[in-house]
Structure 1
């Protein structure tokens, strides 16, 4: 909606300007379409090409946003060109010319050194905050605030130090005849891995609190089962073997290697077979649901569940890395079991976060390159194309400072802001440059471009900001939109920056080019009428 109104305002104001010069509505419309209409077409092209950079994203919602924006831009341009002149004819659309624009044009032309110095200082400050672009994704920021399950999840994470669950898959060596879950060697590896994971702790880099990892597997059920055994010859004689402890301890008891065990089992039944049968009987006591949660039906694979609280991505990544190191250690040095790397919630979250960060950089870079190439080709001038490109490049460079100052966290919405603002913000610079090309690059022409086109740029920008502001307002009343609040706020802020840079910095660039061109005797810019 904002872009569509922008296009309409630029065309309508230019038609009024020609009408005030004494031309008929038909001639005013024709001249407006050949001048501002051409600039609006360039805006639509650069917007479309800029938004197309989102197609390289591996995240489907971001590609959908890119396609939606492109369709919206095309429809807005077609409807603007076809309907604006007719609506103006019906409504006799007027235009007011505030005298303040003469002063603004004079400031942007005469104080260009101060303006460029301020731009340089702010850009340097923002580049010093570039590290904020590597911050972690915050899913909780995107979640509605009044959902009971979300609040309970946060409470659960705090009290039980859990909430993110990962899984290690354990299998037996291919040369073992026993299924993995019935092989005591495999179970031993699972036990050692689980014990080490339960001792894994780090300090939260934000709060310095201790973060603990918890893990459990089928072995924990072996340990929780208590048994008492007495083996003797009956009667009043003392039993020669007594055991009271967990089933896991009994499986590792020296009784199975003793002569007493061999005597009791006889010649046709070994102690190892006895131990294996005990494991089978123990598994038979499990319910089907319990076995399905921890084992495959054929007992060839088992799972180790690893839980950690909801914490920042950097600490989560560290815990995942250390968990994988433990699994790799037992997988490499011991040949009794094969362990996978950690999968599940934490690794997936890290992968999504990394994908969003990578996409953010790639889409912004690709969008900038495509927009620059498009403007150079259409203007048929590298100078005009590059100077027009500079304000939006500076807006992108100011993005880190905006994120840092606003305390905004990275999420799937804010990761698209850079590309979207390139598509929206470049329009202001294109309109100013096209008017400079008409009026000439001397100070008088630059002032006239700001005085007349600058007003349209401000009107168009504030309509865009007003449209986006509706999203911010709704987010305060509808928690379903809480995750979009920072997204809308960032767009409003950066659109405002693009306006200021188009009205003040862009004319300053042209003034500097003219000044130093005269001073050093370089070839001046020749403008095609």
Structure 2
């Protein structure tokens, strides 16, 4: 997943250094002097790129999800290796291959547009940013766990089919125990079994409407009580002979346990003086359990009968509806815990609550890592540039890219998953490089319009070349995900990276020079030295 991105980053660093060496060579300097000057200018900017990339990716370390921390560590190591190899090998490779480049005349026009049409550019940026902020709610959508796995796996397709046909696919568990002061084990206590029955019946009647399709979502619950209900018995109690029996029952074992026979005089007569009707009922429960296989008991009860399980099944649906069903299930369990003292029910555990917890963790991590990455990158640039204005203006394009993220997700119809949740942090690390290279050249050439145009004309070409190599590397990941892995989430991840990298390019080439032009314009207009960016 990360190799295409790291390939693009490594080529980026090499292109920036190589193009600057060529520029100095074209000015008449020797290869050695060109390399020395390039390392002191563009090399310094590339070092800053590597540093901000590393610090930006380190924000993933705060994630509670281990794979995201692994991604952060991998990206940091990859960036460091890319920078070291670039600085050490690029000049030698250029000497061996006699590397050169062309200077399209169109860059003069592009530099002029970004410098002279800065008002129009900033207006467009403002409008797009406003549109994206209006779509901010898409960032709260549920994380799609199914998109984190290959779509061509038969078990995943069968899970969707099973969910649709049987309204199941996610199974949770309620743990039921008896009160501590009861002498009977929970699973043999009729009072506990009654609570399990009421809970199961209420859960089987629990329905909601799917917020996406408006279909009815049903919950099903199953416990040991269902075996009691499914067992059919017929009983006749009489004096024998040809006389009519005085008690006849034909129904389920569960109904018989609740029959008024156990409170009748006939039962007392039949049981005698040394054996009570309650003991008879308890013995019937014991005999019924003895008919179970070991596997059946292990699935529904503990060995000592002190705890029992209620299995709760629901379809494989969106996280929001799953969370609502879990909340209502917990409310039912809490209600019986509070109202009755015959049993103690846990809150729902198992698949659905775990899925919700993972979803919430990924969403929280997404916001926290993006925020931390932005803060770390801004502080780093301010410290290294030794200028808040240079650091902040350089930071603005990548901040805007992050603000455009909701519109990108909404327009592309992309679902969030564990891959796309890391996009914001990764794009901060990758996208900031373009702005750093432009700013470093502006500092070198001067912040007047002529210097800004020259920075765009020369460094802008390197930025475009480097960005398209990054996009090309990431595009290989898209192609592989189509023909090899069939990961929907991975395709979304690479598609978002490509789109946002393109945005970072456009903002670095057009918006960043416009910010410098606006600052210079209003500095001259109002005559305030504090509005001017000093070299």
Instruction: Name the TM-score class by shorter chain.
Output: over 0.9
Partner of 1:11: 17
Q: 1:182 and 1:516 mapped to 2: Cα distance?
A: 84
Q: Is the 8 A contact 1:376 1:384 kept in 2?
A: yes
Q: How far is 1:482 from its partner?
A: 3.3
Structure 2 matches for 1:397-416, cutoff 5 A?
397-416=403-422
Shift of 1:141: 2.5
How far off its partner does 1:219 sit?
0.1
The Cα of 1:527 is off from its aligned counterpart by: 6.9
Instruction: Pick from 171, 187, 194 the counterpart of residue 188 of structure 1.
Output: 194
Residues 14/527 of structure 1: CA separation in 2 closer, same or farther (3 Å cut)? farther
Matched, 1:84 2:90: yes
Residue 158 (1) aligns with residue 164 (2): yes
Separation (CA, whole Å) in 2 of partners of 1:316 and 1:239:
53
Evaluate the alpha carbon distance shift between residue 87 and residue 497 of structure 1 in structure 2; reply closer, same or farther with a 3 A threshold.
same
Note the residue ranges of structure 2 that are not aligned, 5 or more in a row: 1-6
1:294 matched to 2:300? The reply is yes
1:441–1:525 contact (8 Å) kept in structure 2: no
Cα displacement string for residues 317-362 of structure 1 (whole angstroms, at most 9, x for unaligned residues): 1100000000000011100000000001111111111111100000
Which deviations, in whole Å up to 9, do the C-alpha atoms of 1:152-209 show, x marking residues without a partner?
A: 1111111110010000000000000100000000000000000000000011111111
With 490-499 and 81-90 compared, the bigger mean Cα shift is at: 81-90
Contact kept? 2:172, 2:348, Cα under 8 Å: yes
Separation of aligned partners in 1, 2:224 and 2:379 = 61
Aligned-residue offset at 1:222? 0.2
User: Given that residues 57 and 425 in structure 2 are in contact (C-alpha distance below 8 angstroms), is that contact kept between their aligned partners in structure 1?
Assistant: yes
State yes or no: 1:514 paired with 2:509.
no
Q: CA deviation at 1:450?
A: 0.2
Deviation at 1:500, TM superposition (A): 0.1
How far residue 524 of structure 1 moved from its aligned partner, in angstroms, is 5.5
Alpha-carbon contact 1:437-1:527 (below 8 Å) kept = no
Distance in 2 separating the partners of 1:29 and 1:147: 52
Kept in 1, the 8 Å contact 2:219–2:312? The answer is yes
1:133 alignment partner in structure 2? 139
Separation (CA, whole Å) in 1 of partners of 2:519 and 2:213: 51
Distance apart, 1:475 and its partner CA: 1.6
Count residues with an aligned counterpart: 529
Q: What displacement does 1:140 show?
A: 2.4
What is the distance in 1 between the residues matched to 2:488 and 2:530?
52
* 4+ runs deviating over 4 angstroms: 524-529
Deviation (angstroms), 1:479 = 3.5
1:526 Cα deviation after fit: 7.1
1:67-466, aligned counterparts within 5 Å? 67-466=73-472
**Which shows bigger deviation, 140-149 or 81-90?**
140-149
Spell out, residue by residue over 1:389-409, the C-alpha distance to the aligned partner (whole angstroms, 9 max, x if none): 000000000000000000000
Q: What's the offset of the Cα at 1:138?
A: 1.2
1:211-270 CA-to-partner distances (Å, cap 9, x unmatched) read: 100001000000000000001110111111111000000000111111111111111111
Q: String of CA shifts for 1:31-62, please: whole Å, max 9, x gaps.
A: 10110000000000000000000000000000
Over the aligned positions, Cα root-mean-square deviation in angstroms equals 1.0
Q: Deviations over 1:274-319 (max 9, x none)?
A: 1000000000000000000000000000000000001111111110
Supply the distance in 2 between the matched residues of 1:291 and 1:277 (Cα, whole angstroms). 17
Deviation at 1:486, TM superposition (A): 0.4
How far did 1:148 drift?
A: 1.9
Q: Secondary structure at the match of 1:501?
A: helix
In the TM superposition, what is the alpha-carbon distance from 1:143 to its structure 2 partner?
Answer: 2.9
| TM-score normalised according to structure 2 size | 0.98
Aligned to 1:115, the other structure's residue is in SS state helix
CA deviation string 1:48-100 (max 9, x = no partner)? 00000000000000000000000000000000011111111111110110000
How far apart, CA to CA, are the structure 1 residues paired with 2:103 and 2:428?
A: 29
1 CA distance for matches of 2:484 and 2:472?
18
CA contact (8 A) 2:519 2:532 kept: no
Relative distance call for 1:179 and 1:163 in structure 2 (3 A) is same
1:150 is displaced (CA, Å) by 1.6
Deviation at 1:142, TM superposition (A): 3.0
SS in 2 for 1:524: helix
1:502 aligns with 508
Query: Contact (CA 8 Å) 2:151, 2:487: kept in 1 or not?
Result: no
TM-score by structure 1 length?
Answer: 0.99
Q: Is the 8 A contact 2:414 2:492 kept in 1?
A: yes
Match of 2:71 in 1: 65
Q: Contact between 2:520 and 2:533, CA under 8 Å: does it hold in 1? A: no
SS in 2 for 1:478: helix
C-alpha distance 258-191 of structure 1, shift in aligned 2 (>3 A): same
> 1: distance between equivalents of 2:324 and 2:487?
32
Mapped partners of 2:515, 2:481: distance in 1 = 39
- Conserved in 2, the CA contact under 8 Å of 1:217 and 1:294? yes
Aligned equivalents of 2:487 and 2:31: distance in 1? Answer: 45
Displacement, 1:525? 6.8
CA change 1:525–1:121 in 2 (3 A) is closer
